[in-house]
Structure 1
Amino acid sequence: MMRPLVLDAAMGTRLIARGLDLTRDDPSLWNLDRPEAVAEIHRLDLDAGADAITTNTFGANRKWLARYGRAGDVVAINRQAASIARTLAGPDRIVLGCIGPTAPGTEDELEQARALADEGVDALLLETNATAEPIGGRLRRLHAAVGLPMIVTFALVADDDPLPGLDFDPDEVGLRAIGWNCIPPDRAVTLPGRLRRPVDVPLVLRPSGGAWEAEVPRLLDRGVRYFGGCCGTTEADVGALRRAIGPRRSASESG
């Protein structure tokens, strides 16, 4: 059985605390404009015990960056974000290339994925997806383009089932984990127990804010193996999850 992994906490809200103004700026632009701030946040999460950190690239695609007149910087932004994370993570921690839902299934998304892959991310994290949106075709295109493992999280949870039906073989698209992000903790921790169909990959849980580490033992029993935080969370939350799960093991120790 896969060992549990601690993911990082929110990047955007901590950049806002450092002066980011979302009315005229995007978090991903800080990879080029304020790389020291991005690096500081990654370092805080690693020091708190994160096994994996996520690139600061949620909206870093050509379509989204055009809103800020920076579409021409898309490759440089993604490669710099991956480079910052990869350098800090070293060989013993995982780097997830973050792709948000701002250009799903487009050439712009493929361009972003290729830039992240070229700079050495270990997997792609497609986050904040809507459960009503089909994901299979998108995963096939991305996996065919970069050949990396895929992790998918959903934010808008349907009332009848907390995950969409998977109309594909997870191995076919490199799917390594599936779950939820950007959902309040009191609701998020109920989701693994509400599944109506078996899920043959580990589950991910990245709630937004609030303390929920006491739920870790029960969630482990329900198949959650990736634990992290979304909007409003900090390195303090990473540390709390680390203590709840136990000491971090190196890649060599985990086999």
Structure 2
Amino acid sequence: MIGPILLDAAMGTRLIARGLDLTRDDPSLWNLDRPESVAAIHRLDIEAGADAVTTNTFGANRLWLARYGRAADVVAINRQAATLAREAAGPDRLVLGCLGPTAPGSEDEAEQARLLADEGVDALLLETNRTTEPIGDRLQRLHKVVGLPMIVTYALVADDDPLPAFDFDPDEVGLQAIGWNCIPPDRAVTLPDRLRRPVGLPLVMRPSGGGWEGEIPRLLDCGVRYFGGCCGTTEADVADLRRALGPPQRARPSG
């Protein structure tokens, strides 16, 4: 059985603390414009005990970068992001290539996935998806493009949001785990039972805040194998989770 694997905390939160202004800038641009800040944050997560770091590429596709006049930098941004993450992770920890929901199913998304795969990420992490939007075709397309293991997380918007629709075989698209990100911890800890039974995959928990470490034994029993933090979390939350999870157990997704 996989894990548990400790993921990192929020990149954007800590870049904002270092001066990022989201009204005119994007976190992914800092891979080129302020690489020392991105690298420092990756190192903080590793030092706090993370088993994996996520590339700073949530919006690093050509379509999204065009909003800032930086579409021509898409190759350099993704390559640099993967390099910064891998340098911090070293050979024994995972690097997850982050794809946000800004260009789902498009050639722009496929291009970004290729760039990250070419730079040696271990898996793709598709973050902040809506459960109301089918994802099977998107996963199949990406799997054909790169053949990497994939992890999917959803951001529930309302209490009555439906469960994700799974009209495909997870093995055929390399899907390794599913779960949630960017939701409050008190809601996040109530969700695993909703998804574990119908899907049967390892689960991911990346709430937007800490303080839920006491729930880890129950969450492990519910099938959660990937733990981390989303918006508002820092390396301090990673350290708290590391203490609660115990010593690292190295494991690489396989596809």
TM-score (ref. length: structure 1): 0.95
Alignment correspondent of 2:135: 135
RMSD: 1.5
Q: Distance in 2 between matches of 1:145 and 1:187?
A: 35
Alignment correspondent of 1:60: 60
Alignment correspondent of 2:235: 235
Look up the equivalent residue of 1:65 and give its one-letter code.
Answer: L
Alignment correspondent of 2:166: 166
Q: Distance in 1 between matches of 2:250 and 2:113?
A: 27
> Can you list the C-alpha shifts for 1:11-63, whole angstroms capped at 9, x where unaligned?
00100000011111100000001000000000000000000000000000111
Alignment correspondent of 2:125: 125
Is the Cα–Cα contact under 8 Å of residues 181 and 205 in structure 1 kept in the other structure?
A: yes
Look up the equivalent residue of 1:200 and give its one-letter code.
Answer: G
Percent of counterpart pairs with the same letter? 82
Is the Cα–Cα contact under 8 Å of residues 196 and 203 in structure 2 kept in the other structure?
A: no
Change (3 A) 1:222 1:116: same
Q: Distance in 1 between matches of 2:233 and 2:187?
A: 16
TM-score (ref. length: structure 2): 0.95
State the Cα distance separating 1:119 from its structure 2 match.
0.5
Is the Cα–Cα contact under 8 Å of residues 92 and 251 in structure 1 kept in the other structure?
A: no
> Can you list the C-alpha shifts for 1:76-126, whole angstroms capped at 9, x where unaligned?
100100011111111100000000000101000001100101111000000
Structure 2 residue 221 is the aligned partner of structure 1 residue 221: yes
Q: Distance in 1 between matches of 2:57 and 2:100?
A: 8
Q: Distance in 2 between matches of 1:71 and 1:103?
A: 13
> Can you list the C-alpha shifts for 1:197-241, whole angstroms capped at 9, x where unaligned?
422210000000131111100000000000000000000000011
Alignment correspondent of 2:178: 178
3-state SS of paired residue (1:156):
coil
State the Cα distance separating 1:156 from its structure 2 match.
2.2
State the Cα distance separating 1:165 from its structure 2 match.
2.3
Is the Cα–Cα contact under 8 Å of residues 162 and 194 in structure 1 kept in the other structure?
A: no
Change (3 A) 1:45 1:136: same
Q: Distance in 2 between matches of 1:196 and 1:120?
A: 30
Which consecutive residues of structure 1, in runs of 5 or more, have no partner in the other structure? Answer: none
Structure 2 residue 153 is the aligned partner of structure 1 residue 150: no
Look up the equivalent residue of 1:238 and give its one-letter code.
Answer: V
Change (3 A) 1:161 1:19: closer
State the Cα distance separating 1:250 from its structure 2 match.
4.3
Q: Distance in 2 between matches of 1:182 and 1:160?
A: 17
Change (3 A) 1:99 1:196: closer
**Of 12-21 and 188-197, the range deviating more from structure 2:** 188-197
**Of 242-251 and 203-212, the range deviating more from structure 2:** 242-251
Change (3 A) 1:28 1:196: closer
Change (3 A) 1:196 1:98: closer
Change (3 A) 1:50 1:196: closer
3-state SS of paired residue (1:143):
helix
Is the Cα–Cα contact under 8 Å of residues 163 and 179 in structure 1 kept in the other structure?
A: no
> Can you list the C-alpha shifts for 1:124-182, whole angstroms capped at 9, x where unaligned?
00000000000000000001000100000000256456631211111100000000000
